[in-house]
Structure 1
Amino acid sequence: MTVPNTSMLRPLYKAAQVQELDRRTIAGGIDGFALMQRAASSAWHSFRSRWPQARSITVLCGSGNNGGDGHVLAALAMQSGLKVQRITLKSVEELSGDAARAAELATSAGVGCEEWHAGIELTGEVIVDALLGTGLTGEVEGRFKRAIETINAAKQPVLAIDIPSGLVADTGAVPGIAVKASCTVTFIGDKVGLHTGDAPAYTGEIDFRPLGVKAQAYFDIPPTAWRLDDSLLAEAFAPRLRTSHKGDMGHVLIMGGAPGFGGAALLACQAAARLGAGKVSLATAPEHIAASLVCCPEVMAHGVRGGAEAAELPSNADVVVVGPGLGQSAWGQAVLQSALQSDTPLVVDADGLNLLARQWPEVRRDNWILTPHPGEAARLLNCSVADIQSDRPAAAQALQRARGGVVILKGAGSLIAGPSGLVVCPYGNPGMASGGMGDVLSGMLGALVAQRGEVEFSVWLGAMVHALAADRAAAEEGERGLLASDLASYARKLINP
């Protein structure tokens, strides 16, 4: 399997890795307090670029270096003529190290200071969250929890420094409560937990500021993951040769549509055709043939009553998509078995995944793509959905290790685990929470694998095209009411830049 190049992607790190990058930067000759001032200055520029008209600010400071960033930011705001409300969760007299120096800097700049207490009014036009940094792993409790509740109850926009307090930097999970920010400015190394799981509901816009630290220069600190970028699309979808014909563009076979469940397979067929597959075939229950001819006459439809009639079809295709509308009855089991007996690359979705978990728990392949949502992933890993969502990066990687190939763990911040590592798709929107979206994705993936002849990079592209098509559709017509069938036309535009 070809391993794609990650050099064009933004690296993502775990909290401990960023802390080590911070330590080495200081050991290399940059004073720790100077680095804190650099971070606060970057946060100030981020603040000013988003709220240029703001004349007052409230900064809530914790006890560590994250709080220190807040103290320095408060000083910068005061020096720029803003009215500053500085609230501490730990008295300035109890602070130590760089955090104490930062608090003293703010006091010397004339910034007032009050300790947080229940019922305190947050008076600034913008609130800055500098309570807790990236070291959090469990649920926020006590005064910090109540302070977060106060921030979230306020109506002002919020700038989170490094990470919204309460969000786990390594996983994107929120064990209890977290600050809901309008913007998060994060430093040195971008964190994987800012881009998946619960994170998109809390981070707002993410503004990454490396502070002059070249993280990738430290070869012994490899990124935990990579963030996909839509700049990959233009190069990947260059104009076709003028002599191209349909035989050059691959043959996709969609296997699905058990009796009474024909729609999902038809959605996958349409998506595969619109994504440029040269030929699309459908193996479905005989009663769905008439509907398929009306819906998409370009598709070559085969009515199959069971495994015997489906057995020869996979060998004629370049890639097989199995699962949309498959069901878990004897028909679905027989069709999936015929796909598994072939050496053709597979995309396995929906009930194909549920049948794998139940009937084929040990099967592993290098040339397949598994596309579970958290519920399907939980069945494949024999755990709970809560277990999956508590650490989505670990779950995606565990499933890929167990089953091979390439795994897409769908959801907010979809994760792709493959031979080259873990990547995050930062696109998509809540309008995608409707039936058939996964079927469309599987058809798109099949089309791209058929045309490109390789798997992992096709998955990267497919995940982006699927999500970006939904973003374009939502931008034009809104998120509510977005249908899976809407995506194909927008996706077609994306692959013809």
Structure 2
Amino acid sequence: MNPGRPLYLAEQVRELDRRTIAAGTEGFALMQRAAQAAFRVLRARWPEARSLSVLCGAGNNAGDGYVMAALAAEEGLAVQLLALRPVERLDGDAARAAQLAASAGVAITPWTAQAVLEGEVIVDALLGTGLSGEVREPFLGAIRRINAVGRPVLSVDIPSGLCADSGAVLGAAVSASITVTFIGDKLGLHTGAGPARVGELRFKRLGVDAEAHGDLVPVARLGDEALIAGALPARPRNAHKGDCGHLLVIGGAPGFGGAALLAAEAAARLGAGKVSLATAPEHITASLVRCPEVMVHGVRGAPEAVPLLEAADAIVVGPGLGQGPWGQGLLQAALAAGKPLVADADALNLLARGRIQARPPAWIVTPHPGEAARLLGGDTASVQGDRAGSLRAIAADFAAVVLLKGAGSLVGEDDGAPLTLCPFGNPGMASGGMGDVLSGILGALLAQGVAPRLAAEAGMLLHARAADLAVQAEGERGLLAGDLASYARRLANGVG
């Protein structure tokens, strides 16, 4: 079981807020607690700052901003407070917060399109987690002004304009330096566009134990590295290669051999006892030169692959497979073999075209957002607008464990259990072949007897953490997919 931090949908966090208040914590006291936590983060991060621009909208998010403005004034900072909702139209705790700011001597200035942001640090308290539609004026203009001014930004609870449930940008969203979120961590802060907008994320529970509410099942959990150790226990001293699984990688149509070679080498580095590669005959020499430990076989069609399929414990199919008759025949044979299987790349494109009907009993499908859109018959924007829902739809359609790639990769099934979200990875991974290495890692875990769900979770974390280690050593630019295998091996052996 993944022990990582739970992630919730916005309505679940609002329900936690309601329950906390119903249990005896005054709403305004909770607001003050949130503002104090955010202000402490601000002062610790920018201790030399002497002035703030605080932009407040309406509701509790704005209330947090008003209280922060009061705290800053009490500490002697110059505060520019810009209100996008007239103070007289505020009610409840937000109105009390505005009164607190005024009592602290803060001048509340109505926002105009000509407003100049004067503070050394900007506090974004414009829009909270309740936003559902596209951002409209005057908030749209304020968000654009924040992003254009080029100064540090602290977002309260969530960057304004970001969907708390999906990580989608709702027309426009603040690009924060730090986001301080409260009570329950939100899925949208970690996936989709979220990681690029949130900046550093600080989570403050405010004394609320979300997991004490067992009926509020988190939508996901952050992946924990303990999953890696759980998937790869120590081997017995008398282990031999036959005990460690035989993986067959199928791919590399004529002229497209590189992807399958990357997958096969990654699988060998991740401990599969034997790795075979079924590829177009013209790629045999390249495979022998690159990694002679891989047993390469030139196959001209599905009949020649049958003995290899029978000998394998698990299969990876798709890297460089192509969508022609060669690839179609091999994919059909692989899916019909009844072995644990990873389907990637062109295998997914063929499945999306409806050319292949067979389904293995246990498998992992690994779409990026574009491939996910094709599998669902939709578009990429729709997938990114509901990554969790898209994953579950694919899992239901194909009765598979799904690894939906992209920033904040997700793993899950159509079983109602929380998804697992990858908290690792970096922009250096935006280069060719990364998905092929991932498929090889996943296949190696399946071949070693790891169940598909755990294999997908641990493999996703291994892949992303390996990329992080590679970047720590030599930087993001120029990171190649082939660089990851050696780092993944270290992590698999507990020496990363």
Question: TM-score category by the smaller chain?
Answer: over 0.9
- Compare 202-211 and 115-124 and name the one that shifted more: 115-124
Residue 303 (structure 1) shift:
1.1
The equivalent residue for 2:311 is 316
Can you give the 5+ residue segments of structure 1 that lack an aligned partner in the other structure?
A: none
Q: Where does residue 26 of structure 1 map in the other structure? A: 21
Deviation, structure 1 residue 234: 4.5
Match of 1:422 in 2: 419
The answer for the alignment partner of 1:468 in structure 2 is 465
* 1:190 paired residue among 185, 210, 222: 185
Distance in 2, matches of 1:332 and 1:245, equals 33
Q: Is the alpha carbon distance of 1:56 and 1:357 closer, same or farther for their aligned partners in structure 2, counting shifts above 3 Å?
A: same
Post-superposition offset of 1:239: 4.0
Query: What is aligned with 2:97?
Result: 102
Partner of 2:85: 90
Aligned to 2:319, what secondary structure does the other structure show?
Answer: coil
Q: Where does 1:170-319 land on structure 2 (aligned, <5 Å)?
A: 170-234=165-229, 236-319=231-314
2:248 match: secondary structure: strand
| Whole-Å separation in 2 of the counterparts to 1:28 and 1:365 | 50
Q: 2:452 aligns with which of 450, 455, 474?
A: 455
Find the aligned partners of 2:283 and 2:86 in 1 and give their Cα distance: 70
Q: Secondary structure at the match of 1:311?
A: helix
TM-score (norm 2): 0.96
Taking the aligned partners of 2:310 and 2:363, their CA distance within structure 1 comes to: 15
Q: Equivalents in 1 of 2:235, 2:157: separation in Å?
A: 44
1:235, distance to aligned residue in structure 2 (A) = 5.1
Residues 302-321 of structure 1: CA deviation (Å, up to 9, x unaligned)? 11110101123222111100
Deviation at 1:49, TM superposition (A): 2.3
Q: Which moved more, 1:412-421 or 1:238-247?
A: 238-247
Residue 493 of structure 1 is matched in structure 2 by 490
Partner of 1:433: 430
2:55 alignment partner, SS class? strand
Could you say if the C-alpha distance between residues 127 and 327 of structure 1 is closer, same or farther in structure 2, counting changes exceeding 3 Å? Answer: same
- Could you tell which deviates more after superposition, 82-91 or 471-480? 471-480
Deviation for aligned residue 1:364: 4.5
CA contact (8 A) 1:55 1:125 kept: yes
**In structure 2, C-alpha distance between the alignment counterparts of 1:136 and 1:233, rounded to whole Å:** 37
Give the counterpart of 2:365 among 370, 376, 381. 370
- Please list the CA deviations of residues 376-411 of structure 1 after superposition, one character each: whole Å capped at 9, or x if unmatched: 111111111121112111111111111112101111
Write the distance in 2 (CA, Å) between the matches of 1:482 and 1:299: 24
Name the aligned partner's letter for residue 324 of structure 1. Answer: P
Whole-angstrom distance in 2 between the partners of 1:92 and 1:231: 49
What SS class does the counterpart of residue 408 from structure 1 fall into? strand
The CA distance in 2 between the partners of 1:244 and 1:273, in whole Å, is 16
Find out whether 1:163 has 2:158 as its counterpart. Answer: yes
Q: Which moved more, 1:359-368 or 1:144-153?
A: 359-368
Of the structure 1 ranges 365-374 and 260-269, higher mean CA displacement relative to structure 2 is found in: 365-374
Alpha-carbon spacing, 1:473–1:251, altered in 2? closer, same or farther (3 Å): same
Partner of 1:393: 388
User: 1 CA distance for matches of 2:116 and 2:491?
Assistant: 48
1:410 matched to 2:405: yes
Give me the whole-angstrom Cα distance separating, in 1, the residues matched to 2:308 and 2:139: 60
**8 A contact 2:231–2:455 mirrored in 1:** no
**Compared with structure 1, are the counterparts of its residues 223 and 361 closer, same or farther at alpha carbon in structure 2 (3 Å cutoff)?**
farther
- After TM superposition, the score normalised by the length of structure 1 is 0.96
Check if 1:14 corresponds to 2:13.
no
> 1:131-189: CA deviations, max 9, x gaps?
00001111101110001011001111111001000001111101310000011111111
Q: How many Å apart are 1:123 and its aligned residue?
A: 1.5
Identity level (%): 62
Query: Counterpart in 2 of 1:49?
Result: 44
Separation of aligned partners in 2, 1:17 and 1:404: 28
Give the whole-Å Cα distance in 2 for the aligned partners of 1:311 and 1:484.
30
- Cα gap change, 1:422 to 1:361, in 2 (>3 Å): farther
**Deviations 1:291-332 (Å, cap 9, x if unpaired)?**
111110001111111010112322211110000110011110
Question: What is the CA–CA distance in structure 1 between the aligned matches of 2:368 and 2:51, rounded to whole Å?
Answer: 44
Amino acid aligned to 2:49: A
Unaligned runs of 5+ in 2: none
CA distance in 1, matches of 2:356, 2:76: 64
Q: Post-superposition shift, 1:233?
A: 3.4
